[in-house]
Structures are given as C-alpha cells and as structure tokens.
Amino acid sequence: MNSQTGLRVFYGFIGALRDAGMTIGSDQAQLYLQSLSAVDLQRRDEVFWTGRASLCRRQSEFETYDRVFRMWFSAVLSPPLSFEESTVAGLPETADGENVDSENDQQIALASREEALQHRDVALMSIEEKQYMAQAFAGLPIKTPKRRSRYARTHRHKSIDPIHTVRDQLRRGGEPSPLRYRRRTERPRRVVLIVDVSGSMEAYADSFLRFGHRLLAHAPHTTEVFTIGTRLTRVTPALRHPDPEIALIDAGLVVPDWSGGTRLGEAMKAFIRIWGQHTMLRRSVVVIASDGWERGDPAELASQISRLRGLAHSIIWSNPHRGKPGYAPIQGGIKAVLPHIDALVAGHTLAAFRELADRIAHA
C-alpha cells in the first residue's frame, strides 16, 4: 500500500478502537503513529505489538484490541464485503449453490437494511455498521442557511431604485431614462458547531465531529467547529482535511479533554469571552451537541446560553437522547438552557442528522 493509503488505514484503526469502547488519548495516538515509522509495516506481528504497547492502557483492553485488530486488518488485506455482497452472502442457498431469493428480493432486503441503519442508534452500531455510517455522512445533504444582506443591489425587477434612476437621468442631462430597480440579496449565514466530548458523550462525539466535517466541506468559509468538555478547543483547522478519517484523528490529537469531565458553563463562558466580539458569532446559527450533563452550576450554563442568545441568530441544541423512547429533559444542564434555545432536537441516528442538517438550513 502507498503511504497515503497506509496512513488512512492506521488512522481508521484508531477510530475503530474508539468505536469499540477503548479510550485513546491524543498522546497515545501520537506515540502509536510515531512508533509505526520504526517497524516493518509488512510484518503483521510488528504492527500488532506496536499498537498493543502504545494504545492499551490496561490489561482489560487487550481482548477488545485483539478483536478489532483481527477484524480491521483482515479487511485491509482482503477488502471487506460491501453491504450488497454481505447481504447476498447471507442468504440461504440451494443444493446447487444458487441463492433462493430472486435478485429483486435481494434488492428489497438491501433497501430494508439500509433503511433500518438510517434509524439505528449510533451507540449500538457494530464496526461494520459504523463504517456504513461514515460513508453515509459523505452523502449527507447540506444546505447553507441564508440571511438577507443589509444593502440592496441593482436588479432587473423588484422595487424602484430612486438613486440610480436619478443618476441615469443626470447623466442624460435631464432626459427621461428607464427606471432602475433594486432588491435585497442573500448571503450565507455562518454556522458554529460546538461538540461536547466528555465521557458521557463518548459514543456520539465522533458522529457529531463527522457532521462538522461535512458542514466544513460544504461551506468552508462560513463554518466553525469547537469541542467542549472541561475546556474549549477550536478544531476547525484539523477538520479541514478532505479525508474524514484523517480529519477526525487530527481533531483528536488537538483535543486535550477527550472523554473527560463536563463543565459546560465554564467552557461556554470562555467561548463567549474569546469569540463574542468576533464577526463569526454575530447572527450565526449555533448548534450545541451535548447530553446536558453538567458538573458545574446549571445556573451558570443558563446564564452563558442566555448571553449567547443575544449574539446569535438562533441556537439549536442536539441531544443524542432526545429521540429515544421515554426521554424527558430532566438533566440539570438541559433544564437550565431550555428557555434560552430555539430548538431541542435528536442526534443519535443518521436520520436525526439529516433532520438536523435540514433545521440548520432553515434556521
């Protein structure tokens, strides 16, 4: 494999381990990637033990590491079945080795599975299903929200533009001239995504960052992405890489509080202090991805979201538990911010992310 492909393979492996429940910090990821340069990447055993030594913090993680390693690198050496292939392979066969179901039935089964995955909770997905989820994000439909410009521009129709009409007549020495028209133009509205990367959001933070990567790919000049936990981190530069797998690993390397505690109020206070006067935040659509678990004072969080409400055009709060049966906004952080946000939406399935993208477009 070439160097670029090899880099993607190892970045993806770290992501697969995180998806499987292992907590891998930026220091571990850096050590692993640096250590790989000292081993023969064609030697499977050397790659295996390098990862074991640098990515596993405790013996209880060995079993998870071994299982994911076998699955991931078997897929690399022998490309994994696509969903189309795996669906066909799983069908019962006749004595002659032919599939019992017709091709039409296979297509129906495939469509049914894809539809089911649209509504499957990210936290419950297998590694294979998460690979499908990652690919599906690339096709997620994104539309940039629009705002009306403060100034009108000359146009063929709409309202009469008296200034340009009079100027034309003056140029003609007072002779009558055709009427000039103008209308307000539309400009893209900025979108700011703030992702909670604390321990309680570990199963969903990756998907929200993938969503941020998709937003950036669509509108790189009007999108910003931050992470919050015990502190605030701007990850926009890291997520600009066109390959989402590399972008997510780069983001993980700059986030110091991944899977840590939650002090949303303090982090939001820092966000407003640093970016409150910046044009990036003014009249923007702010999306906060968090389950609302707050170790600090919920009143402080409410105060900061209230301040943010005075700066932004709208605030959308995406809670991965929002769309689950029996959910009620009882967490201290969620209860505190409800009066100050425009919408509380779900964020646990691919279908929920599609709805979130649509809500942003129409905010």
SS3 224: strand
Same-domain pairing of 176 and 209: no
The secondary element (H helix, E strand) that includes residue 10 is helix 3-19
**Residue 57 domain flag:** yes
Same-domain pairing of 161 and 300: no
pLDDT tens per residue, range 173-211: 666 667 666 656 778 999 999 999 998 898 899 999 999
Same-domain pairing of 323 and 221: yes
Same-domain pairing of 213 and 344: yes
Predicted local distance difference test score (pLDDT) of residue 129: 80
Q: What are phi and psi of 187, to 5 degrees?
A: -125, 155
Same-domain pairing of 29 and 66: yes
Same-domain pairing of 279 and 333: yes
Predicted local distance difference test score (pLDDT) of residue 190: 95
Same-domain pairing of 231 and 356: yes
Determine how many CB atoms are found less than 10 A away from the CB of residue 50.
20
Same-domain pairing of 229 and 343: yes
Predicted local distance difference test score (pLDDT) of residue 86: 34
- DSSP result, 210-221: HHHHHHHHH-TT
Residue type, 238: A
Same-domain pairing of 167 and 208: no
Domain extent for 244: 191-361
**Residue 140 domain flag:** no
**Residue 142 domain flag:** no
Query: How far apart, in whole angstroms, are the C-alpha atoms of residue 333 and residue 314?
Result: 18
Give the residue among 317, 260, 289, 358 at the shortest CA–CA distance from 122: 289
Predicted local distance difference test score (pLDDT) of residue 98: 46
User: What predicted TM-score, i.e. pTM, was given to this entire model?
Assistant: 0.67
Identify the segments of the chain with pLDDT beneath 70. 1-7, 74-114, 148-166, 168-169, 172-177, 179-184
Residue 67 tokens read as: 């299982």
Residue type, 265: G
The last residue of one of the domains, among 187, 204, 239, is: 187
**Residue 250 domain flag:** yes
Same-domain pairing of 158 and 212: no
Residue 161 tokens read as: 């533009």
Same-domain pairing of 198 and 183: no
Q: How many domains does the chain have?
A: 4
**Residue 138 domain flag:** no
